[in-house]
Amino acid sequence: MNAAKLIGIGIQLSIMLMVFGIGLSAGAAQVRPAVKDAGLLARSLLGMYIVVPLVAVFVALNFDLNRGVLLALLLLALSPVPPIMPGKQVRAGGSPGYVLGLLVVASLAAIIVVPVGARLIGLIFGRDIRVPFGVTTEVVALSVLLPVIAGLVVARLAPGFATKATKPISIVAAILLVVVCLPVLWMARHALARLTGNFTLLAIVLVSLTGLAVGHLLGGPHPGNRAALALAPATRHPGVALGVLKIIAPGDKEAEVAVVLYLLVSIVATFPYFLWRKRARAAQPAN
């Protein structure tokens, strides 16, 4: 087994552990009310799958972007909530039930949205882009649905263990992700440097901050859930984008590196907002 494959397995395992940890902390009783709030979920999907893709298309049409960056930007705009975000959304004040419900609903919607959206974007840019539904289904099943179900089952059968294990599992997942991502960043450092010209960073920041603002405005009266929704459209699921790239642009290393660049820049761009909401949550009096 080569190093690249080991790194890929490590990243997938860390993401599954993160989602499993959220499943442990959010029992089924917490998730059901979040999923039943049709208005909030509808606004959530509107921000993620309508507003952000429209902004990405606007940027793509008006910025002189590298082809790989252009492709990555458009595919990421169609991708759901990234599994690496749930813990951050909870720390910003979002309830575990809403965060988990949003992750599951947005991921399930991606099974339809990504192929259809990619087709529509292809028509706008004069390209025939066809994405099999099985591509997003596989990514969603492995990175979201299976670990969520496992976490909820364990929380139901062994609530004491779930309470004690949630934090250690989240810490192990975060450490593992950092450890396996460092070699990826080192190997891609030259390619990352080449992609930072032609307003690339500005385009990524614009799309991320637009998603942040839209999510915050659509998040409703609950400040924690508003923060959770703001972070969802701003940072996207790299696994879905990379899975689609393998189908429509196999071997396009530039576009793959651009996905990594987007993820890094969007995390940095949204970090001040995350700190603001985290401090606001800490300043609130305890119930």
Domains defined along the chain, listed by start: 3-279 (1.20.1530.20)
Section 212-227 average pLDDT: 84
pTM of the predicted structure, to 2 decimals: 0.80
CA 127 to CA 136: how far, in whole Å?
20
pLDDT at 3 over 80: no
pLDDT at residue number 130: 84
Helix (H, G, I), strand (E, B) or coil at 195: coil
pLDDT at residue number 21: 83
1 compared with 150, residue with greater pLDDT:
150
What is the pLDDT confidence band of residue 84, given thresholds at 50, 70 and 90?
A: low
What is the pLDDT confidence band of residue 17, given thresholds at 50, 70 and 90?
A: confident
Question: Which residues lie closer than 8 Å to 146 by C-beta, 6 or more apart?
Answer: 16
Q: Identify whether the C-beta of residue 170 lies closer than 8 Å to the C-beta of residue 20.
A: no
Q: What is the pLDDT of residues 109-143, one digit of tens each?
A: 888 998 999 889 888 888 888 888 888 888 888 88
- Within 165-258, strands assigned E span none
Q: What is the pLDDT of residues 230-247, one digit of tens each?
A: 888 888 888 788 888 888
Tokens encoding 107: 């991921």
pLDDT at 74 over 70: yes
What is the pLDDT confidence band of residue 99, given thresholds at 50, 70 and 90?
A: confident
